[in-house]
Amino acid sequence: MSFLSDDEIICLIIEYINEDIYNYAILLDGEWGSGKTNFVKTKLIPSIEKLPHEIENQKRKSLLYKNVCNKRNSKEKRKLTKSVIYISLYGLKDTEAISSMLFFKILEFSLRINAKILPIIGAGTKAIIDKYGLSALSDIKPANIFAEFANYKRYIFIFDDLERCSIPINEVLGFINNLVEQNNIKVIIITNQSEIGIINTQNNLELKYLLSLHERIDFRSLEQKSKDSLNQNITTNNIYNLDQIKQRVSYLFEENELYNQIKEKLIGRTIYYKPQLKEIVPLIIDKCIKSERTNRIIKSIQNQIESIMLSKNHYNIRTLQFSLIYLAKICKSLDEQKQSFQEYEQIICEIFIAILKVSIAFKKGIKNYEWSENSEYGEICFNDEIWGMQSFKFIHDYIYSSLYDETRVIKVLSSYNTDVIAKNFAHDDPINLLSNYWELDDDFIVEQLLKMKSKLIEDKYATVKYKKILSLLFCLKGLDINPVDINEIFEIMKTNLMQSGGEVETYEEPLINANNLCLTEFKAFMDNLRKIQKESSQKKNEIDINAILNKEKWGNDIYNYYEDHKSYFLSKKSFLSYINIDALSNNLEISTTLNFSDFRRGLGSIYCYANISEVFSNDYDTLIKLNNYLNRAVYPKKIKEYNRKMFIDFLSKTIQQWKPEIKE
């Protein structure tokens, strides 16, 4: 289907307004969020209001017309223009509400012309007085007011949100049809036809479900086009699934059929509206992105944004607005934390493309992507992407679950920035060359795998790359391409970890996916690699934390070390046990009061949990040893001695939280 531009739509509607032979209405149809209302208010209405209003000769001569014109200046006499009555039908429950809104809208136009007001009894009086003041009540001439009501040809009526009206579709369209036929007026209806009747279908839904299952309703006698879908898979016990029940309710109660019948009589022309992305995208970017730098970056990929929306057949401007606002939130977090990445522009573009694609998928009801354990970003197969798309788990969490963790976002993007730099500077590395292995020749793959093995033996890969290397090897093993022994590769990784240490966890999504037959084997290898990494880290932590005791400000540095490795110590349910108590006791003996106080306060912050016996369950014996030492010690300096007594009091209370059976 081809769609008209905004200017072409305006030209067609103006032709309709100027044509006086047939009585019919124009329907402007478009999806929710496509910008129909914005187009109508910012482009269509201003264009209509510039049209001259030609009054019939007999009205020109009438006394009523002269009375009205006497109140206008000479300029108004020479040129009268059309006026637009715009009414949203959203939530209106009966046609009387529409009549009331029409009356007050026309009355407002009359007041603008006559500068007077018609006295009305009831709540309407107060509302109008509040708006125009009591002075408007003087010198009222009803004839001048009702002249405007009689002169329908001066007005163009626009009814918006037809699909969200609570009035039955036959009633509201019948009401509009009477306006068109009896008064020969011009009407434009704005709606999303695919949603017609949805609101009323949801009313009394339980009773509709019940009625749709009534045994005396024979759906086989209905239209042939519904026969197959409504009566398929019916058992002798008349048991239906939920989808079948919904189909029956839809056929019995939705108003689409009735709508189509009335539409045939009322609507002379239907215009399908699609936003002009080339025009609207930069305007939406300017509205949502205030940062000049971010604004410039996103506008540089405007063509890609338009291409994505076109390829997904998604023209909902609100989705684009949401995506831009979320990006602005992320950029604000980066600015506030003074995070400026080396590959900032590339990362921002990739983030926004991912946000837009995931947002579109969410709007279409696509199920969220299931990320691998510990993965935070990577190329994933999501929605209808053929070869995958670069995405981030925190984007999916925000769009699908409204979860936003600023610290996590910054940490993940910092890691991703490092990976991007590594890829940009090592584009010829075997890992990068093999990332799209499905496009490569077998001989080239074998050559690169042998190069990768050589680099591993020389310990030239960061340990965080081991996960990706293993996932790549198992992907190729599933294709029966295995020139290197995976067990041998694993032993090389193990040796490197034990000698040099390092992390094997990475935020990056592994290349292997859930459908791969080797996935279970890959996970087993990764579990073993994690165990080796933990053993190596434990030894390294013991060495590192005890080395701090030799530093000048050891009391404060030990607490900082805990904060930097907090997740590790909590997973081990131990902290103090990593410290050599004899060395610590000696430090406390000879330390300054400041170091002693810093260590005491730091330990107080660490062991602050109400369930301390569970959080640090492995530290009970070490706490006893430290408490015994402090009870024996006596410091000559009074302030330091004061700190010792406070320390003992804290340790005693902490130890008492352990259960009696643990103490024994």
Could you tell me the pTM of the whole model?
0.58
Nearest-angstrom CA–CA distance, 514 and 451: 28
Using one digit for the tens of pLDDT, what is the confidence trace for 28-37?
988 888 888 8
More confident position, 631 or 109: 631
291 touches 202 (CB < 8 A) = no
CA nearest neighbour of 260 among 200, 210, 193: 193
**Neighbour-count burial for 516-528, b at 16+ CB within 10 Å, e otherwise:** bebbebbbebbee
Q: φ and ψ at 356, to 5 degrees?
A: -65, -45
What confidence score (pLDDT) does residue 116 get?
Answer: 41
Provide Rg for the chain, Cα atoms: 37
d(CA 529, CA 451): 22
* Euclidean distance between CA atoms 535 and 511, whole angstroms: 26
**What pLDDT, on a 0 to 100 scale, did the predictor assign at position 315?**
87
For residue 236, the model assigns a pLDDT of 42
At 190, give phi and psi (nearest 5°): -110, 130
Q: Is the pLDDT at 289 greater than 90, yes or no? A: yes
pLDDT in tens, 326-379: 999 999 999 888 777 878 888 999 999 999 999 999 988 899 998 887 788 988
pLDDT digits (tens, 9 = 90+) for 526-578: 999 888 877 776 666 666 788 888 888 888 888 888 887 777 788 778 888 88
Residue 589 has pLDDT above 50, yes or no: yes
Tokens of 589: 């003996």
Over the stretch 381-418, which tens digit does the pLDDT of each residue have? 887 665 678 899 999 999 999 999 998 999 899 888 88
The two three-digit tokens of residue 523, written as one number: 């996970």
Residue type, 109: F
Nearest-CA neighbor of 364 among 384, 334, 389, 386?
384
Q: From the CB of residue 238, how many other CB atoms can be counted at a distance below 10 Å?
A: 8
Nearest to 465 by CA among 497, 425, 499: 497
Taking alpha carbons only, the member of 348, 359, 224 closest to residue 294 is: 348
Per-residue pLDDT, 563: 81
The confidence band for 136, taking pLDDT boundaries of 50, 70 and 90, is very low
Q: Closest Cα to residue 416, out of 510, 514, 344, 329?
A: 344
The residue among 27, 258, 41, 6 whose CA lies nearest residue 162 is: 27
Token pair recorded at residue 427: 């584009």
Residues 190-237: tens digit of each pLDDT: 988 877 755 455 555 555 555 556 555 555 544 444 444 444 444 445
Six-digit token string for 345: 């522009």
Say yes or no to pLDDT of 251 above 60: no
Specify the pLDDT at position 78: 43
Region 301-327: mean pLDDT is: 91
Is the predicted pLDDT of residue 312 greater than 70, yes or no? Answer: yes
Backbone angles phi, psi at 481, to 5 degrees: -115, 100
Q: Which residue has the higher pLDDT, 657 or 239?
A: 657
